[in-house]
Structure 1
Amino acid sequence: MYIEVETVIPAELSDPTWRLYTEAFDELRTTAVQRHVMHRDEFDEVLRDQRVLKYLGHDPERAHQLAALATFTNELDTMPLISPDYFAHRWPQLYAEKRIWYIGFFAIHPDCRGSGIFELVIADMWQRVQASDGIAALDICRRNDRIGLARAIHQTLTSLTEGASASRMDEQTYWLYELPARP
């Protein structure tokens, strides 16, 4: 396994990256209330934006298919599904100095989960956070939290930096109110 970090995805990778993204996140369309999956135009815009780092994970045994794709940036206005104002208000100096890093998404092909690509990408991202003396953030829906994503990231980070900590920034729950059953 190896990774490449790019600022722009070449046009010939547009469809393969979209396919990996949708395969990895398609079930979130029906398991999460909040929209977690970008529309194709948003996706293409993020991949064209040079302010966003793109991580391409490769498995030499899968020569013609991507193993992973992730986005990472300290330009928070490039991320269509977050509020940069939240970060600017809470950490004004870090925000102004572009020391808040955000993982837009991290898609791993189902056949490559457990391959080590996750740890390679997270380690590179964390190195950038450390170099800027910054902080890193991402959103994790309840479904992904339940399957251990937050725990896996925390374990990876503490293996790289003893004493690294994690805290929940925000949480949103959705409520449903129903009429009683009719007799």
Structure 2
Amino acid sequence: MHVDVEKVLTGARREEAWQLYQTAFEELRYAAVQRHLMHRAEFDEVMSDDRVEKYVAVAEDGTLAGLSTFTNDLDAMPLISPDYFAHRWPGHYAERRIWYLGFFAIADPHRRSGVFEAVIEMMWRHVRANAGIAALDICASNEARHLNDAITRTLTALTPDVVATRLDTQAFWSWELPVAS
């Protein structure tokens, strides 16, 4: 397997990427209250946007094994608030030293293949070389699967003094009337 960094995905590779994205995150359509998945038009826009790097893991047979997006131009990413980052880290934001990992999808046959760690390491090189900050959104369902711990272990192996911080938590509540009998 090899990982390429692409600026734009088009044609058959983009379609394959869309299928991987949908399959990998289908569960979040009903597991999370707030929308975590891009609509097709948003996805296509991100795949066409050269401000967003696409980390494309390709299996030996040429099929897409994994795909991730990464950028330090936070305006390029749907579903986040660049204003949050500008307010919290004004210097880093102004100097474009905040990178956002939009998503990381791995095809089922390639889970536990090392592609996760390899891509995280490639991304981390940019952050570390610029004394920057990396951020991503992990919903409660993925936090329960310890995705944040896996990333922290990977980054700690690369940079022992890295500090992981939860930036935000949101809880959705409902108030329901009982069914009349």
Scaled by the length of structure 2, what TM-score is found? 0.97
Cα distance, 1:64 vs structure 2? 3.6
Three-state SS of the structure 1 residue aligned to 2:68 is strand
Cα distance, 1:11 vs structure 2? 2.4
CA distances 1:80-132 after superposition (whole Å, capped 9, x unpaired): 10000000011111001000000000000011110000000000000010111
C-alpha separation in 1, matches of 2:180 and 2:107: 46
How do 1:162-177 and structure 2 match up within 5 A?
A: 162-177=160-175
How do 1:36-115 and structure 2 match up within 5 A?
A: 36-60=36-60, 63-115=61-113
Cα distance, 1:78 vs structure 2? 0.7
Which residue is equivalent to 2:118? Answer: 120
Structure 1: any 5+ residue segments left out of the alignment?
Answer: none
C-alpha separation in 1, matches of 2:104 and 2:68: 4
Cα distance, 1:148 vs structure 2? 1.1
Three-state SS of the structure 2 residue aligned to 1:67 is strand
RMSD over equivalenced CA pairs, Å: 0.9
C-alpha separation in 2, matches of 1:44 and 1:132: 29
Three-state SS of the structure 2 residue aligned to 1:77 is helix
Query: Would you say the 8 A contact 1:3–1:58 is kept in 2?
Result: yes
Among the aligned pairs, what percent are the same residue?
56
Which residue is equivalent to 1:21? Answer: 21
Query: Would you say the 8 A contact 1:88–1:95 is kept in 2?
Result: yes
Structure 2: any 5+ residue segments left out of the alignment?
Answer: none
Query: Would you say the 8 A contact 2:10–2:47 is kept in 1?
Result: no
- The residue type equivalent to 1:36 in the other structure is H
2:178 alignment partner, one of 164, 177, 180: 180
Instruction: Decide which moves more: 5-14 or 144-153.
Output: 5-14
C-alpha separation in 2, matches of 1:64 and 1:158: 32
Query: Would you say the 8 A contact 1:72–1:104 is kept in 2?
Result: yes
- The residue type equivalent to 1:175 in the other structure is W
C-alpha separation in 1, matches of 2:14 and 2:131: 33
- Number of residue pairs aligned between Structure 1 and Structure 2: 181
Three-state SS of the structure 1 residue aligned to 2:64 is coil
